[in-house]
């Protein structure tokens, strides 16, 4: 008998229209950054209050570009959360700067503004909050701290495209904002991201840094517009441009972004309603007054003493995939070697890192799959608790 497939943690929603949009670019004769990428940037700009936007090759590229444009370099410090994907801190190292971690709030799982203030030194140049799992940080407090200490803010919104804060979409404020369009995100370009700039004055330099520091438009050369003009390299740049193939998929996905957002919210609310009173776990955002999340991930936090490994194994036996997103960065080998032993310094992040489990959430989940996940969580908890008692 064929073993039933697991409900995956995530699954991209790819339509026939998406495939047709990509096919059209593949047939066009121009595949790399060109007019489709420019159109994608324009649509993204409209979604964030018409702020200047650069489409790039990944969310990581967006973060690195933002730090570079913010002037972060050797001996600078950037304050961020240890509870995030490795890219958030890795890009800080790439500039020669030093990541300084601040603990998370135990209720929201986002960086705690009070801990940010305590971490500021004379070397601090940037605060980099992460909208964890798509839930907006307390940007009013963070921006106030930054203004008081004359610091720049770079929002890692890799998981928060489509979310809003105080009635405005994430990205429509005044900071650098970095998005990711990985297949697990709200919309996908397969691999890709975007950088929202604080002002249009940075756009020419940002475009040059995005593509090797070169001051020439390859698309115009292809079209025969500027074939006789030699290019110049004016600054150190990188290979961070987005292809028209990726942008075509992004443009098509944008047409359904609101429906994706709505469905993710419906799934999250169904999980919260079904699991908020279950003993042994904590679910996110039981308080509806919190700002709308894009629900890139849905975590359940196991009580201390409940084995996450056993719980995840039991979920799998009941047909449900799960994942660990993420491990606290100060507990990884790289950051232990660089920053020393910081165990015990960030207790809230460490508890979340050790006990949080992500369960499936994606727009095409059926009601039956949602029910299966809920029932699997309850069964897995019972099994793990019974196992603990028997021991």
The Cα–Cα gap between 370 and 317 comes to 16
* 321, 324, 325, 327: CA torsion to nearest 10: -170
Helix (H) or strand (E) holding 196: strand 193-196
Catalytic residue among 152, 185, 263, 385: 185
The Cα 178–Cα 9 span in angstroms is: 24
Main-chain dihedrals φ then ψ at residue 239, nearest 5 degrees: -105, 75
d(CA 39, CA 46): 11
Cα 41 to Cα 251: distance, rounded to the nearest angstrom: 9
Cα–Cα separations (whole angstroms), residue 8 to 259, 320, 361, 377: 20, 7, 8, 14
Taking the alpha carbons at both ends of the chain, their separation in whole angstroms is: 34
Cα–Cα distance measured from residue 170 to residue 213, given in angstroms and rounded to the nearest whole number: 29
Q: Is 185 a catalytic residue?
A: yes
SS3 92: helix
Q: 70 with 209: CB under 8 angstroms?
A: no
The dihedrals phi and psi of 301, each to the nearest 5 degrees, come to -100, 115
Residues designated as active site: 185
């Amino acid at each position: 008998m064929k073993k039933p497939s697991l409900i995956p943690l995530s699954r991209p929603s790819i339509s026939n229209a998406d495939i047709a949009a990509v096919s059209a670019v593949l047939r066009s004769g121009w595949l790399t950054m060109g007019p489709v990428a420019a159109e994608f940037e324009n649509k993204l700009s409209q979604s964030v209050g018409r702020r200047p936007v650069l489409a790039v090759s990944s969310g990581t590229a967006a973060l690195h570009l933002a730090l570079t444009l913010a002037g972060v370099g050797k001996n600078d410090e950037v304050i961020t959360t240890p509870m995030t994907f490795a890219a958030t801190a890795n890009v800080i190292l790439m500039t020669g700067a030093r990541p300084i971690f601040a603990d998370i709030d135990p209720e929201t799982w986002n960086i705690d503004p009070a801990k940010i203030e305590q971490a500021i030194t004379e070397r601090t140049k940037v605060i980099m909050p992460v909208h964890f799992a798509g839930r907006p940080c307390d940007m009013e407090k963070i921006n106030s701290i930054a203004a008081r200490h004359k610091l720049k803010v770079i929002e890692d919104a890799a998981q928060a495209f489509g979310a809003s804060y105080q009635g405005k979409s994430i990205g429509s404020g005044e900071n650098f904002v970095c998005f990711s369009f990985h297949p697990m995100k709200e919309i996908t370009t397969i691999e890709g991201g975007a950088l929202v700039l604080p002002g249009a004055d940075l756009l020419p330099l940002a475009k040059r840094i995005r593509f090797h520091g070169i001051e020439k438009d390859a698309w115009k050369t292809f079209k025969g517009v500027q074939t006789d003009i030699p290019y110049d390299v004016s600054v150190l740049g990188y290979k961070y441009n987005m292809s028209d193939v990726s942008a075509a998929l992004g443009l098509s996905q944008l047409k359904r972004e609101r429906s994706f957002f709505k469905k993710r919210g419906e799934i999250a609310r169904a999980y919260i309603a079904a699991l908020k009173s279950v003993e042994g776990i904590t679910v996110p955002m039981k308080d509806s007054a919190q700002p709308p999340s894009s629900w890139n991930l849905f975590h359940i936090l196991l009580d201390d003493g409940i084995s996450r490994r056993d719980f995840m194994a039991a979920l799998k036996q009941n047909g449900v995939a799960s994942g660990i997103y993420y491990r606290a960065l100060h507990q990884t080998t790289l950051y232990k070697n660089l920053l020393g032993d910081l165990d015990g310094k960030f207790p809230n992040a460490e508890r979340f890192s050790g006990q949080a489990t992500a369960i499936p959430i994606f727009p095409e989940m059926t009601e039956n799959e949602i029910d299966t996940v809920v029932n699997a969580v309850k069964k897995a908890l019972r099994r793990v608790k019974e196992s603990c008692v028997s021991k």
